[in-house]
Amino acid sequence: MPTMETEIDRTLSPHPAHSAPSHWLEYARAFAGLMLRDLYVLRREWRAFLIRVIMNPLLFLFVFTYIMPHMSGAAALNPTAAMAGANFSTVLLPGLMAVAIMFSGIAAVALPLAQEFGVTREIDDRVMCPLPVAAVAIEKIVFSAVQSAIAAAVVFPLAYYIPSTPVYAHVNSWPFLITVLALASLLAGALGLFIGTAVKPQQISLIFGVVVMPITFLGCVYYPWAALKSIRWLQMGVLINPIVYMSEGLRVALTPALPHMNSWVILAMLTFFLALLTWLGVRGFLHRVIG
């Protein structure tokens, strides 16, 4: 009787006969079919998608960058904005885009997996397509990356035009911006896959309060990483948080005048976390489907 390890190896590595071009073409068509199916569902639910993406950053921007600057004594009510001065709106631009990418990526993978791994086992219908089981998991990451990129594009004009103080943003390198967006979007999907396969479906809502919110507030979203230099232990501790590199990468690409991490360090760490979380997520997916 084949062991669990043997079954996992079989799903990760195609049979030698599958290495023929015809089989790879079949895989590509099946992968594209899954993507088109998910895009069709997203098109039908685009209103709910936009509300999910827009609501949180819109409220935050409206309160902290529009209402408070118009209030007398706003510095006492909003010490963070007072400390950053006119640059607070500029700091928020890349940070809120990173939050939109992360939330969209996690919601696009983890929440559907909670349903698919539930009592009805809807996941069994997906894995019956002519693809290795691991490729089905990869498709979820890729599709979530598409949603995350759309979310970042939607949040950008909100974060740029709503603040009452000027936002100073410009792109020095489009290739760097596109690379960061691609890595960050894929990383958010990989994180969603890991959460969706590591947590029981009944506990998936708890994860947003226990995991997602803390890594957001400690992800250099509302402040640059360099601003933590006076709290050295925290500055070093947040380096295990992948959201830090999303925020700092977008900060380098969009607001280079602000203090930021080294560009090569950001790209290296985004790649590292993407590889790690993809491996853990695919491994967990295989375990949940086959086991």
Per-residue pLDDT of the chain (291 residues), as tens digits, is: 444 444 444 444 444 444 556 777 777 777 777 777 777 777 787 787 778 778 777 777 777 777 766 665 545 455 455 544 447 788 888 989 999 999 888 888 888 887 777 666 767 767 677 778 888 889 889 989 998 998 899 899 888 888 877 888 888 889 999 999 999 999 999 999 999 888 877 777 777 777 778 888 899 988 899 989 999 999 999 999 999 999 999 999 999 888 889 999 999 999 999 999 999 999 988 888 886
* Full DSSP string of 122-160: THHHHTTSSS-HHHHHHHHHHHHHHHHHHHHHHHHHHHH
Of the candidates 159, 68, 141, the one whose C-alpha atom is nearest the C-alpha of residue 105 is: 141
Is the whole model's pTM more than 0.85, yes or no?
Answer: no
Residues 79, 85, 91, 95, Cα dihedral to 10°: 20
Q: Where are the alpha helices (DSSP H) in 128-262?
A: 133-161, 174-198, 204-207, 213-217, 232-237, 242-254
Q: Alpha-carbon distance 80 to 97, whole Å?
A: 19
Of the candidates 162, 165, 175, the one whose C-alpha atom is nearest the C-alpha of residue 253 is: 175
